[in-house]
Amino acid sequence: MSPRDAEAFAAQRVDADEARLIVGDKATGRRTNLSLGAVFREYWKHPSPYLLSTCLVAAITGRVLAGRDGGGSWWEFAIPLGLLAILPVVEWLVHVFILHWRPRKVAGLTLDPLLARKHRAHHANPREIPLVFIPWQAQLWLAPAYTALAWATTPNPTAMFSLLIGIYTLMSGYEWTHYLLHSDYRPKSAYYRKIWRNHRLHHYKSEHYWFTVTSAGTADRLFGTAPEPSSVPTSPTVQRLHDLGR
């Protein structure tokens, strides 16, 4: 695909997505600017929200039981606030170094993790809703990994469960936001529209920029990946990460 063809393709895809949200799909006559309630009901038809909610409820239950004899301390309130403060940077790092991992050979073995493979499929078809979610297979090993991390980095059980509550609350927020960005919900607020637009630029303009998901380019500005869109040439591999095909 030539640079000119790639530029035209990106413009067409972004415009088509936005038009579909506003007036619907002319080819089918189906209106797709769904209400928030409609996309919320669709959200719960997928396994990831249930897995995250189960872990969150378990963490809350653990925190209540661990603190029933007066355990815990006021400083534990700083844990979720600290996680919220670093969330944009964590999102950026995970997106760049894990989700956009390029397969490579080490000692004759190809290292190509599930999360990277699923994310390439997500870029190939951004409107395929099941590909939007964190793979359930990954969540099965992330849960014990987060528990081990919380146990190793906190001084007592109440702090451990407070950390897990923060982790799963933010993961649930990320999962909902990312799903909403790819759903047929039309953005209402200017702030959400900015996040929505940035994410479409990442999917249809260039996979090398606009990595944050739940905020409007916070960490992208920090790391220099939030350029003026008109200054960025459209990437011919925006839907074929690393030019590996679909």
Give the per-residue pLDDT at 9.
61
224: confidence class by pLDDT, cuts 50, 70, 90:
very high
pLDDT band at residue 131, thresholds of 50, 70 and 90? Answer: very high
Q: Where are the domains of the chain?
A: 3-243
Give the angle subtended at the CA of 181 by the CAs of 178 and 182, to the nearest 5°: 95
CA–centroid distance for 28 within its chain: 29
Report the alpha-carbon distance of residue 90 to residue 227 in Å, rounded. 20
Local confidence band at 139 (pLDDT 50, 70, 90 cut-offs): very high
Do 56 and 165 touch, CB atoms closer than 8 A? yes
Which token pair is 207?
């996979």
DSSP state of 73: -
Q: What is the pLDDT at residue 22?
A: 43
| CA 190 to mean position of chain CA atoms | 20
Mean pLDDT of 80-91: 95
- With 0-12 / 13-18 / 19 or more C-beta atoms within 10 angstroms meaning exposed / middle / buried, residue 235 is buried
Work out the average pLDDT over 28-54: 85
Q: 38, 187 in Cβ contact below 8 A?
A: no
The answer to whether 91 and 173 are in contact (CB under 8 A) is no
In whole angstroms, what is the distance from residue 145 CA to residue 151 CA? Answer: 10
Judged against a pLDDT cut of 90, whether residue 37 lies above it is answered with yes
**Residue 14 confidence class, pLDDT cut points 50, 70, 90:** low
The 3-state DSSP class for residue 30 equals: strand
For the cut 60, the answer to whether the pLDDT of residue 245 exceeds it is no
Beta bridge partners of 236: none
For 157-211, the pLDDT digits (tens) are: 999 999 999 999 999 999 999 999 999 998 888 999 999 999 999 999 999 999 9
Look at residue 5 and tell me whether its pLDDT is greater than 70.
no
Asked whether 237 and 243 are in contact (CB, 8 A), the reply is yes
Cα(119)–Cα(116) distance, integer angstroms: 5
